[in-house]
Amino acid sequence: MESKYARLDRFISMRTDIKRRDVRRVLAQGRIRVDGIPACSINQRIGEFSHVAIDEQVLQAKLARYFMMNKPCCVVSATKDERHKTVLDLLGAADRAGLHIAGRLDFNSTGLLLLTNDGRWSRQLSTPEANICKSYRVTLEKPICEDYVDAFAQGMFFPFEGITTKPAKLSIISDYVAEVSLVEGRYHQIKRMFGRFRNRVLELHRFAIGGLVLDPSLALGQSRELTEWEASNIREKIQW
């Protein structure tokens, strides 16, 4: 995978007429600033969101952007689709430029969806080692009983993949409604787990990812940018 970082001398030479061997001299003159601070080394790493300037000339000022959306039903979690409306179609042209989805939701599922232009951030959220908890409210066709709680906590074997799911927490809210928290994202995992009881999922709504809870003021289809604190603390672990 191509690195998103570059050495300062290489970065400067690629964006100006200054040769790499001359960057050290410009650096010593204090003319190069990275994120508002005088650069200190030709080996300094420049990321895709580093603000870089020489004198008054800005060479890069790309900002990292993070959005939460309350995804509606029957919208595809994709950047393009020839048949259906996508979640990016719900954003204005200026907002959606350069964004990708950080963890999809199924076509018929609703709730918290994250979008960003920061690939490193989205990879950190999706890597299995992160163990970031995702929480859902599930409406079922048939009543739920305590047997479900134990089965979800023990994990279930999926013969097609040859794996056993990690323990998941199920809380019974009412006869037909439950909340499920898990750290995996197997294909249709929640629907398949309830399918072991021959109980069809009627509605699936994600309301939290890690320490981030869906803003209750967002109607279906609406979105807003995350605060700096939200973007930084989403990986906060949830204690079961």
Active site residues: 106
Please report which helix (H) or strand (E) contains residue 96, including its range.
Answer: helix 93-96
Spatial distance between the Cα atoms of 199 and 78, rounded to a whole number of angstroms:
28
Contact 46, 7 (CB under 8 A): yes
Residue 150: is it exposed, middle or buried by C-beta count within 10 angstroms (0-12/13-18/19+)? exposed
Distance, in Å, from the CA atom of 19 to the CA atom of 17, rounded to the nearest integer, reads 6
What are the tokens at 213?
Answer: 């809870």
List beta partners, residue 135.
Answer: 181, 208
Name the residue among 132, 71, 81 with its Cα closest to residue 104.
Answer: 71
Residue 22 has a CB neighbour count (10 Å cut-off) of: 14
Terminal alpha carbon distance of the chain: 36
Mapping DSSP to helix (H, G, I), strand (E, B) and coil, where does residue 159 land?
coil
Contact 191, 136 (CB under 8 A): no
